[in-house]
């Protein structure tokens, strides 16, 4: 089956620092989403991004489907950015089934 | 508009019992998918329903089942609960087509004792 690898697995930042999270995948995808899982478990939508670059405030994402990777940039990090970040893929021919990466656990400290 | 609503939020059951979880999708969304999240296995796809039909199924035993009603609300059922079924169960709602953006509910945290 498809392999979805996220790096780094864990990340500790000082407030105000920038970071880049990476998602590599081994198969062609129909679409891709980035989520932030809050401490209560809910998955919050960050980006729905099959290709190209999108920005939303301090966050931006870039997907290069032909090279099978996506990047999530967090600038000027805040303590509220802490949590787990997942990329999830819709595979070609997979309907609405999402295949999730293993996640990046981010902790932002004062 | 209202988001995806899952009930109950927390549940404690005994081994051998069965449980039913509910998910109400975003108004107008016709696709509902279910996922199980455990520390060891991560987030895994259970099944997807669209227009009351199961459209996709993950690799879970037959004890896990689901259904979707005409108003797009969905339920999943787990029979003969095992300790390993303790997990966060998440429901996702999508508009219709394949690969459309998914929105998740707050989840149901099931503990089997």
Q: Which of B4, B36, B43 to mutate to test the interface with A (most CBs of A within 10 A)?
A: B43
Assess whether pLDDT exceeds 90 at residue A2.
Answer: no
Q: State the average pLDDT over residues A80-100.
A: 88
Give the residue among A31, A35, A60, A57 at the shortest CA–CA distance from A46: A35
Average pLDDT, chain B: 95
| Residues forming beta bridges with residue A31, ordered by sequence position | A90
C-alpha to C-alpha distances, B2 to A42, B24, B34, nearest whole angstrom: 15, 10, 19
Q: State the average pLDDT over residues B6-17.
A: 98
Q: State the average pLDDT over residues A15-44.
A: 93
Determine whether the interchain pair A98/B33 forms a contact, defined as Cβ–Cβ distance below 8 Å. Answer: yes
The whole-number pLDDT of residue A86 equals: 98
Average pLDDT, chain A: 93
Burial B38-58 (b: 16+ CB within 10 A, else e): eeeeebbbbbbbbeeeebbee
8 Å CB contact between A106 and A83: yes
Q: State the average pLDDT over residues A24-49.
A: 92
Determine whether the interchain pair B98/A30 forms a contact, defined as Cβ–Cβ distance below 8 Å. Answer: yes
Give how far A98 is from chain B: nearest CA, Å: 7
Determine whether the interchain pair B33/A97 forms a contact, defined as Cβ–Cβ distance below 8 Å. Answer: yes
Contacts of A44 (CB under 8 A, 6+ apart): A35, A36, A37, A38
The predicted-structure confidence for B59-113, as pLDDT tens digits, reads as follows: 999 999 999 999 999 999 999 999 999 999 999 999 976 778 999 999 999 999 9
Cis peptide before A95 (omega within 30 of 0): no
Give the residue among A29, A31, A42 at the shortest CA–CA distance from B91: A42
Cα–Cα dist B63/B50, whole Å:
21
Q: State the average pLDDT over residues B29-48.
A: 94
The whole-number pLDDT of residue B48 equals: 93
The whole-number pLDDT of residue B101 equals: 92
Assess whether pLDDT exceeds 90 at residue B18.
Answer: yes
Assess whether pLDDT exceeds 80 at residue A95.
Answer: no
Indicate the pLDDT class of residue A94, thresholds 50, 70 and 90.
Answer: low
Q: What residues of B are in contact with residue A33 (Cβ under 8 Å)?
A: 101-102
Q: State the average pLDDT over residues B46-55.
A: 93
The predicted-structure confidence for A63-73, as pLDDT tens digits, reads as follows: 999 999 999 99
The whole-number pLDDT of residue B10 equals: 97
CB of A65 within 8 Å of a chain B CB? The answer is no
- B40 φ/ψ angles, rounded to the nearest 5 degrees: -80, -35
Cα–Cα dist B14/B35, whole Å:
21
Quick one: CA dihedral B98, A8, A78, B91, positive or negative? Answer: positive
> Which A residues 74-93 touch B at CB under 8 Å?
86, 88, 90
> Which B residues 1-30 touch A at CB under 8 Å?
none
CB of B49 within 8 Å of a chain A CB? The answer is no
């Amino acid at each position: 089956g498809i392999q979805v690898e996220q790096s780094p697995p864990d990340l500790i930042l000082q407030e105000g620092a920038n970071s880049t999270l990476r998602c590599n995948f081994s198969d062609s995808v129909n679409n891709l989403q980035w989520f932030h899982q809050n401490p209560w478990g809910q998955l919050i939508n960050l980006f729905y991004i099959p290709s190209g670059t999108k920005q939303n405030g301090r966050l931006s994402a870039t997907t290069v489907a032909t090279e099978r990777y996506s990047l999530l940039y967090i600038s000027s990090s805040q303590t509220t950015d802490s949590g787990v970040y997942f990329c999830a893929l819709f595979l070609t021919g997979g309907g609405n089934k999402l295949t999730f990466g293993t996640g990046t656990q981010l902790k932002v400290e004062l | 508009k209202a988001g995806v609503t899952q009930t109950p939020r927390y549940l404690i059951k005994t081994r051998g019992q069965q449980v039913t979880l509910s998910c109400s999708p975003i108004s107008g969304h016709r696709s509902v998918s279910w996922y199980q999240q455990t520390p060891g296995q991560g987030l895994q796809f259970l099944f997807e329903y669209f227009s009351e039909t199961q459209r996709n199924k993950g690799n879970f035993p037959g004890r896990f089942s689901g259904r979707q009603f005409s108003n797009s609300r969905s339920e999943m059922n787990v029979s003969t609960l095992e300790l390993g079924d303790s997990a966060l169960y998440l429901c996702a709602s999508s508009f219709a087509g394949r690969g459309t953006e998914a929105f998740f509910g707050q989840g149901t945290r099931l503990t089997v004792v």
